[in-house]
């Protein structure tokens, strides 16, 4: 519950903002964990797919190209994750522009995630992670716009 603060003091951060903050942190951690797992298993997946396509002799070349592309993708993803987390911390500190930006970015990510639901196949772990990566940002968005949160962002 928001507690009154004196003149010149920052308003007390409501529980709803802290909940949104935690949901975003958990979602980011799951995303990073998923990327690490994918990177750890990527070589065997690439070789299996190359062999299935009849590219036995070219499998190593395909593997090297794909590995380089994945490393570049991983670096870019880490940079975006760091910037996203900066916005999460700014939202927690009462910056309304960060709340709006997180809402837009989360909405775009949700559209992408929902669109990729069919790509998870029957892998229960991937389906579970995908469902969490849908539920967590939705929960965070809702928490950021509850009345307690609105008062907090308005007062900052």
Contact 44, 67 (CB under 8 A): no
Summarised one tens digit per residue, pLDDT across range 94-140 is: 999 999 999 999 999 999 888 877 765 656 777 788 889 999 999 99
Read off the pLDDT of residues 62-88 as tens digits, 9 standing for 90 and up: 778 877 888 888 888 888 888 999 999
User: Taking all residues of the chain, what is their mean pLDDT, rounded to a whole number?
Assistant: 85
Please state the domain extents for the chain. 15-155
CA angle 98, 99, 103 (to 5 degrees): 115
Radius of gyration of the chain (CA): 20
2-15 pLDDT, tens per residue? 455 556 677 899 99
DSSP string, 93-115: TT-HHHHHHHHHHHHHHHHHHHH
The model's pLDDT over 13-32, given as tens digits with 9 standing for 90+, comes to 999 999 999 999 999 998 88
């Amino acid at each position: 519950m928001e507690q009154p603060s004196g003149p010149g003091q920052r308003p007390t951060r409501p529980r709803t903002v802290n909940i949104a903050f935690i949901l975003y942190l958990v979602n980011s951690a799951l995303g990073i964990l998923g990327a690490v797992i994918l990177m750890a298993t990527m070589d065997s997946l690439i070789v299996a797919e190359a062999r299935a396509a009849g590219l036995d002799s070219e499998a190593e070349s395909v593997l090297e190209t794909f590995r380089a592309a994945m490393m570049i993708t991983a670096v870019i993803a880490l940079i975006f994750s760091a910037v996203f987390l900066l916005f999460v911390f700014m939202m927690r500190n009462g910056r309304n522009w960060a709340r709006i930006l997180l809402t837009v970015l989360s909405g775009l990510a949700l559209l992408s995630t929902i669109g990729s639901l069919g790509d998870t196949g029957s892998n229960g772990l991937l389906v579970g992670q995908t469902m969490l990566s849908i539920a967590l940002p939705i929960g965070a968005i809702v928490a950021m716009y509850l009345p307690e949160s609105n008062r907090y962002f308005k007062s900052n």
